[in-house]
Structure 1
Amino acid sequence: MKAKILKLIVTVGLFAVLIFWVFNSIEREFVDAAKERILEISNLISSSIPEDDIQSWLEEIDANYPDIQAIYIKGLEEYGEIPEYFYQNPESADLFAKLKTMDFFDYGIESTVYEEIYFHENILKLGNNQYFVTFVPVLEPEYGMVTGSLVLLHNASKILGTIRTIWGFALLLIGVVFAVSFITSFMRDPTLGFTILIVFIIVGTFIAYPLYEAFKLTIFQNGEFSLDVWKKVLTTRNYSRALWGSIKLGMLTATTSTLVGFLFAFSLTRMKLKGKKFFATMATLPVISPPFSLTLSIILLFGNNGLITRRLLGLTSFDIYGLDGLVIVQTMGMFPIAFLVLSGVLEAIDSTLEEAAMNMRANRWKVFTTVTLPLSIPGIASSWLLVFSNSMADFANPLILSGKYKVLSVEAYLEVTGMHRLQNGAALSILLLIPTLTAFLIQRYWVNRKTYVTVTGKPSARIIEIVNRPVKIFLTTMMGLISAFLIGLYSTIVAGCFVKNWGIDYSFTLENITEALSRARDALIDTTTLAAIATPIAGILAMIVAMIIVRKKFPGKKLLQMFVLMPFAIPGTLVGISYIIAFNRPPLLLVGTGAIIVINYVIRELPVGVESGVATLKQIDPAIEEAAQSLGADSPTVFRTIVLPLIRPAFISSLSYTFVRSMTAVSAVIFLISAKWYHITILIYNFSENLRFGLASVLATTLIIIILAVFGLMRLLVKKSSYMEKTIISG
């Protein structure tokens, strides 16, 4: 062990010395080139000084060279002349006053008298910036006589930033050398070590680093620590109102969605029922539809010119915009989350407990309230908290339907795009992270509890139906009404494709289809292309991370798991804003490219794929992989030939989910799109904002068709395991 440690120290030390020498040479060459460039610009500016109208010339310098502060001194005291000072702006005058007190100032002016340029080697900190200073002689064009001096202060921030980047790369390279040496010296499976290292780099670069940069932006102003942004955010009544509005909306939506989700989950898992596939489809359809679709249909039906409110009922004062409309839309869009969680919980409950209670002469209501409902509490709590987190982070629905009702996600968006106050937008998004992250952590706590779980060696293959006929009719009727409402909403979107001008002219037309598809062609190609690129990357990465988390032990495992799951709790607005802040400068200049959108897709949907992979891997006996390793297979071979085929359902589900979510993304993508890369959901939003509901309906319907096709393909590739199915019998 000592020999390995000594070898590691020597290897890293030698490489560190070599890297230091190389990058020190790079820095010197860069600084020399920067100095030459500064001197060239100084001579160019000096030769452009006119004899008259100096102030106009200074204004041109201000416009053409924004990183330079110029002070022109006309006349020289050495020649007995009274100097006349011309300042580029008031800031130049303040800087010059400070410059005159420094010991090298007189030497710089004296150098210009002898027709020499003086470049001060040291960087000066004046005010909030750092500068290189040059003193340049001003020559009379005809005879070449010195007529004055030009003092130029060159902003050094970009040069210093490049130098920091150079040494950042040097430190990164030393870190890579250390990591590689450590892995090859101390790990039995170097491939596994490199995989873990790469995952840590991905997580650190695209999750931890952007969040750090966003938070840093809120506490630093002009390079100095300041809490002014947070004081403003926490004391402004409008922001406090928006925060409470988001929390109130989240609580109401979580409650109603959990009730509706429990209704569907209980009816489909604990009752003999006709049309189960239909109701199950209705309970999952909103998950795979674009976020604007239900909002769009609500406006078409119940808006100011809605088909029901205005056309059928003749209402003129009815207002769907605000809290009520948002709760309806979010409930219809998010109750599938509760349904999916509660279905798994209710299916896992050992039905022999309910059967035993009924054998002891407990009535059906008693069995439900004392056995079924208490055992469902973890699932109910998890569902409520998950929907609460999603509602708080929802951006798409409030953007269109909130009206005068304030929510924090929209306020953060308006601060960035409308007010151009990136610091305020980042602070509001971080503020929004607090309740969503709290809800997520509580949800994780409930999921990991074992108190209410009933697991037996041989699960019952049947479920006792504990509802009587009237209750069964009531529950079925409620599901039917909700399903009919959903069908009405989606049918409205389809109908909107063929209406000339919704709310005014309901005549049939096909112009919407041709116009929308022609205008959205590029956006549709961009969206599909980016989603197709992100999908395999996210799927493979999720399965690799799941494999590492479940099967391997290594330092920092819990930290890695925490950061991988964190994007699920981070609001999309915070992701978008933090990516703008973190990746708008070298060396990771990604803003405006398609790469940043792909990275956003991968990182945002990674938690779902990882969780799915973890759940599947825990059901697979690790002895299968150990047998392959004992026969000489390395980690990549085991993963490719053993693990991946066994977790195929989870892998395909991860691919499909990533593709669907990428196609319907809004909250983060709206900050990351550019003129070159656009997104179809943003175009739907723009059409809705401009009251072009026909065009928006066409694009929403097109997205639904694409997504349903992908999900249909997924159903063909992955089928539900028959050993989990149970038979429901009458009690």
Structure 2
Amino acid sequence: MFTKRKVVYFIILLIFVSVLDFWIFSNVKKSYNSVLNDNFLKTSHIISRSIPQDGADYKKWIKKYEEENENLKIIYINGLPGFFETTDYYDDNDLYNFYKENYNSEDFKKGIESAEYSEFYFSKQDYEFNNSKYRIIFAPIINDDYDVLGIGVFFFKMDGYMKFYRLVNIFMYSIIIIFALLYGIINFSRDPVMNFIILTIFIIVALFTAYPLFEAVRLTFIKNGEFSLEIWKRILTTKQYLSAFWGSIKLGISTATLSTLVGFLFAFVLARTGIKGKKFFSTMATLPVISPPFSLTLSILLLFGNNGLITKKILGLHNFSIYGLTGLTLVQTMGMFPIAYLTMVGVLHSIDSTLEDASLDLNASKLKTFLKVTLPLSMPGILSAWLLVFTNSLADFANPLILSGNYRVLSVEAYLEVTGMNRLGNGAALSILLLLPTITAFLVQRFWVSKKSFVTVTGKPSPRITELVSKPVKITLVTLMIFIIIFLISLYGTIVAGCFVKNWGIDYTFTLENIKEALQRGKDAITDTVTLASLATPIAGILAMMTALILVRKRFSGKRIFEILIMAPFAIPGTLIGISYILAFNKPPIILVGTGAIIVINYIIRELPVGVEGGVAALRQIDPSIEEAAQDLGADVPTVFKTVVLPLLRPAFISSLSYTFVRSMTAVSAVIFLISAKWYHITVLIYNFSENLRFGLASVLATTLIIIVLAAFGIMRLLVRESETLEKTVSQ
């Protein structure tokens, strides 16, 4: 593809485009600079003619104009230097010291001399003072008789205007880079369409993943525009923050351990025994995954809060408190054990039972076989489940926001730093700190698993499963599952009941007013949430499948970096993503804060990794020769993707759509930073009602959200059914 002639043409065209580009944008900057100088000059003329004629308070005159124009600082020299005695008036001591330091420079001397002869003079350069650039005009201060009374030194702050120059430079260099990339792909690539797709997706993830994170990390090392470790010193030495860090660790460990135990209970019983009603138990085990984050917390408060039905109405307890580590562990365990279950059920299902049969044939008991064979072979799934729950627990924001009480966790501390104290740097640092235990746990898990072999399927796997539990043990395990399911159903039932109670904890009178008021007050939030989630869902689904196709089928330089950028949002706490988006997209060249677009982008980027993983898993089961046959018949890449790949990936595609919609509807950790007066979110409104003890209204909206989510999940289940060929029979 590379020939000497093509390379020469490319270099010549690149030089031509670069020269033309620089010439055009240089003229744009010159024109803008000329307009800017004219405006500064007009302002200087107006101020110089407004000097108090009767020798009034010059400082008051200076302060008046500085307050009217926040980008202006004034020093007034009353009298003419070298001719009469002068008196200097100013409002900023530091600025005056800067003026005196440069007083004898050639530029300042020329300015003062010009003003003495009734001429306005622009400084030959922009001066830097207190990390800001200033353009200086020396102006004659003239009375009505056109006599020069003194000299006004006007300092015009350029920071706001410099953003335009930086924006112009970005566009200028971007045009050159885009031309080079487009021309290079078209002329030096075997598959231009696919390379364009790869480039587009790479730019998307780099722009909306790497760039915001860079801005967040950068802010933690900046103080007054200069490199500083002050933020990190404060974070790592403040008792409050360290207490919150260890609080998050303890919560994560306790939640991950309990969730893994409960998840393993469900996974083992459903995958390795022959109980009836597996579909019901499986549905119950996944129910919390598709429910709003506040729902279980809300029901726990209604049942076990200070005015809870059980604690106050039934048991009459007064000193009992559900707030803190105990309540959070309970809520997170009930909400996150499905993650552990879904992670482990596949691993347990795929274990070849011939190894267990061999153990039993050698006279090992069922318990010993379980402990020595099944449990060790399940360890990769157990560790993965523990790690996933631990990560989700640390990143959880919704539950601690309501239920933490005096117990401190980092996710809430980061939120309070940003929204309560407007300290974005501290909030970003605390969110980044959340990554450390997550990465550590991930590395330990990977290191441990890599040291052992867990391969059991070396040929055709056994189509049956050997049951390792006796009938009494099975009854005990199923009973435990039933108790957990009853508790789970009671939590969701409490939410529904809360919709019809006048004032939970005080007045349990039946009412329908909550429904009317909640839907009336929440209709805009519901509409906004459904609209934004519906916009994000198809984009995320198609992008996920295209990315999966690229990762599985294509080889290109930078593929590892590409994959890391795609998967990174899954491990990053939502608070960090929310804060980083505020920092990155609240300034030129891309201003998105306050718009619905930033929420949609957040949905897409946050949920993209799960869709990609599903697409990758499905594609690895599809023979690439099918796509190659279509290409051999003349189909281009978009046609192959639309007519061959996407239909084959239908289950993974629909699962990705459903997951994105569900997660977008129930999102809170990042979204709470990105909502605006124009675009609101139902989960944030539920939180606001809960915080203000309007549990009836919160229950109505939580129930509404559950209905919407269950409807979407139900449609997905109807469209995608599990293959009957994957079912196994159980032998006693």
- Residue 632 of structure 1 is matched in structure 2 by 634
Residue 123 of structure 2 aligns to a residue whose secondary structure is: strand
Change (3 A) 1:366 1:450: closer
The partner residue of 1:506 within 491, 494, 508 is: 508
TM-score by length of 2: 0.97
Instruction: State the secondary structure of the residue aligned to 2:461.
Output: coil
Q: Which amino acid is 1:68 matched to?
A: L
Change in 2 beyond 3 A, CA 1:638/1:446: farther
Q: Give the partner amino acid of 1:135.
A: F
Equivalent of residue 466 in structure 1, options 459, 465, 468: 468
Gaps of at least 5 residues in structure 1 are none
Q: Of residues 325, 339, 342 in structure 2, which corresponds to 1:340?
A: 342
Q: 1:485 to 1:638 in 2, by over 3 A?
A: same
Counterpart Cα distance in 1 of 2:557 and 2:329: 44
* 5+ long unaligned stretches in structure 2: none
Aligned equivalent of 2:113, options 93, 110, 113? 110
| Alignment match, 1:98 | 101
Alpha-carbon offset, residue 443 of structure 1: 5.6
Distance 1:48 1:658, change over 3 A: farther
3-state SS in 2 of match to 1:676: coil
The residue aligned with 1:680 is 682
Deviations along 1:250-281, one digit per CA (max 9) or x if unpaired, are 11111000000000000111111122222111
Judging changes above 3 Å, is the alpha-carbon distance between structure 1 residues 652 and 442 closer, same or farther for their aligned structure 2 residues? farther
Which one of 628, 653, 656 corresponds to residue 654 of structure 1? 656
- In the alignment, the residues of structure 1 paired with residue 497 and residue 640 of structure 2 have an alpha-carbon distance, to the nearest angstrom, of 52
Matches within 5 A, 1:97-246: 97-140=100-143, 142-246=144-248
Instruction: State the superposition RMSD in angstroms.
Output: 1.6
Aligned position for 2:398: 396
After superposition, the Cα gap between the structure-2 partners of 1:439 and 1:373, relative to the gap in structure 1 and judged at 3 Å, is same
Are the aligned partners of 1:382 and 1:446 in contact in 2 as well (CA < 8 Å)? no
Within 2, Cα distance between the matches of 1:436 and 1:710?
31
Does the 8 A contact of 1:399 with 1:410 survive in 2?
Answer: yes
State the alpha-carbon separation in 2 of the partners of residues 511 and 45 from structure 1.
62
Q: 1:134-533 to 2 correspondence within 5 Å?
A: 134-140=137-143, 142-440=144-442, 451-533=453-535
Structure 1 position 216, deviation (Å): 0.9
**1:35, distance to aligned residue in structure 2 (A):** 1.6
User: Aligned partners of 2:169 and 2:661: how far apart in 1?
Assistant: 39
In the TM superposition, what is the alpha-carbon distance from 1:19 to its structure 2 partner?
1.6
Q: CA deviation at 1:439?
A: 3.4
Go from structure 1 to structure 2 and tell me whether the alpha carbon gap of 1:726 and 1:492 turns closer, same or farther (over 3 Å shift): same
**Change over 3 Å in CA distance of 1:444–1:496 after alignment to 2:** farther
Cα distance change on mapping 1:656 and 1:117 into 2, 3 Å: same
Cα deviation for residue 98 of structure 1 reads: 2.9
Which one-letter code corresponds to 2:587 in the other structure?
R
CA contact (8 A) 1:71 1:152 kept: yes
Q: Give the Cα separation in 2 of the matches to 1:442 and 1:537.
A: 35
Identify the residue that residue 64 of structure 2 maps to in structure 1.
60
Shift of 1:246: 0.7
Alignment counterpart, residue 27 of structure 1, candidates 13, 29, 49: 29
| Post-superposition offset of 1:427 | 1.0
Deviates more, 1:653-662 or 1:443-452: 443-452
CA distance in 2 between partners of 1:427 and 1:246 (Å) = 15
Equivalent pair of 1:436/1:570 in contact (CA under 8 Å) = no
- The Cα offsets for residues 15-38 of structure 1, whole Å up to 9 and x where unpaired, read as 222222222222222222222222
Measured after TM superposition, the shift of residue 555 of structure 1 is 0.3
Q: Distance in 2 between matches of 1:375 and 1:238?
A: 42
The one-letter code of the counterpart of 2:552 is V
CA distance in 1 between counterparts of 2:388 and 2:436 reads 14
Match of 2:74 in 1: 70
Closer/same/farther in 2, CA of residues 444 and 196 from structure 1, 3 Å limit: farther
SS of residue in 2 equivalent to 1:122: coil
2:525/2:681 contact within 8 Å kept: yes
Which of these residues, 83, 87, 103, is aligned with residue 86 of structure 2? Answer: 83
Q: CA 1:210 to 1:434, structure 2 compared with 1: closer, same or farther past 3 Å?
A: same
- Residue 447 of structure 1 and its aligned partner are, at CA, apart by 8.2
Shift of 1:449: 8.8
Mapped pair 1:573 → 2:575:
yes
Structure 1 stretch 220-229 or stretch 452-461: which is displaced more? 452-461
The 1:278–1:446 alpha-carbon spacing in structure 2 relative to 1, beyond 3 Å, is farther
Over 3 Å counting, the alpha-carbon distance change for 1:721 and 1:428 in structure 2 is same
1:450 and 1:678 map into 2 onto residues whose CA distance is 49
**Shift in Å, 1:166:** 1.2
Does residue 729 in structure 1 map to residue 731 in structure 2? yes
Listed one character per residue, the Cα deviations across residues 142-193 of structure 1 (whole Å, up to 9, x for unaligned) are 3232222211111122222221221122222211111112211222110001
Deviations 1:493-541 (A, max 9, x none): 1111111111111111111111111111111111111111011111111
Aligned residues: 728
- 1:691 maps to 2:693: yes
CA offsets 1:623-672 (integer angstroms, 9 cap, x no match): 11111111111111111111000001110011111111111111111111
Give the Cα–Cα distance (whole angstroms) in 2 for the partners of residues 345 and 163 of structure 1.
57
Deviating more after overlay: 535-544 vs 148-157: 148-157
Amino acid at match of 2:79: G
* 1:454-493 Cα deviation digits (max 9, x unpaired): 2244332221111101110110011011101101111111
Alignment-mate amino acid for residue 133 of structure 1: I
User: Could you give the per-residue CA deviations for residues 105-130 of structure 1, whole angstroms, max 9, x where no partner exists?
Assistant: 23212222222111113111223221
Aligned-pair distance for 1:697? 0.6
> What is the rounded CA distance, in whole Å, between the counterparts of 1:678 and 1:384 in structure 2?
34
1:49-84, Cα deviation, whole Å (9 max, x unpaired) = 43434333333323221121111222324552x323
Residues 1:42 and 2:44 aligned together: yes
Which of 3, 7, 24 is the equivalent residue of 1:5? 7
Superposed CA deviations along residues 350-383 of structure 1, whole A, max 9, x for unmatched, are 1222223223332211221122111100000000
**CA distance 1:450–1:706, shift in 2 (3 Å):** farther
Distance 1:49 1:700, change over 3 A: farther
Instruction: Name the aligned partner's letter for residue 486 of structure 1.
Output: L
- C-alpha contact 1:574 1:668 (8 A) present in aligned 2: yes
Give the SS at the match of 1:85. Answer: strand
Q: What SS is found at the alignment partner of 1:520?
A: helix
Distance 1:445 1:348 in 2: 23
TM-score with structure 1 setting the length: 0.97
Structure 2 CA distance for partners of 1:468 and 1:425, relative to 1, 3 Å = same
Amino acid at match of 1:500: K
Identity %: 61
How far is the alpha carbon of 1:728 from its aligned partner? Answer: 1.8
Conservation of the 8 A alpha-carbon contact between 1:345 and 1:376: yes
Contact 1:257/1:332 (CA < 8 Å) preserved in 2?
yes
- Which amino acid is the alignment partner of residue 139 of structure 1? I
Answer whether contact 1:393 1:436 (CA < 8 A) is retained.
no
Q: State the 1:442 CA deviation.
A: 5.3
Deviates more, 1:94-103 or 1:29-38: 94-103
Q: Distance in 2 between matches of 1:296 and 1:600?
A: 26
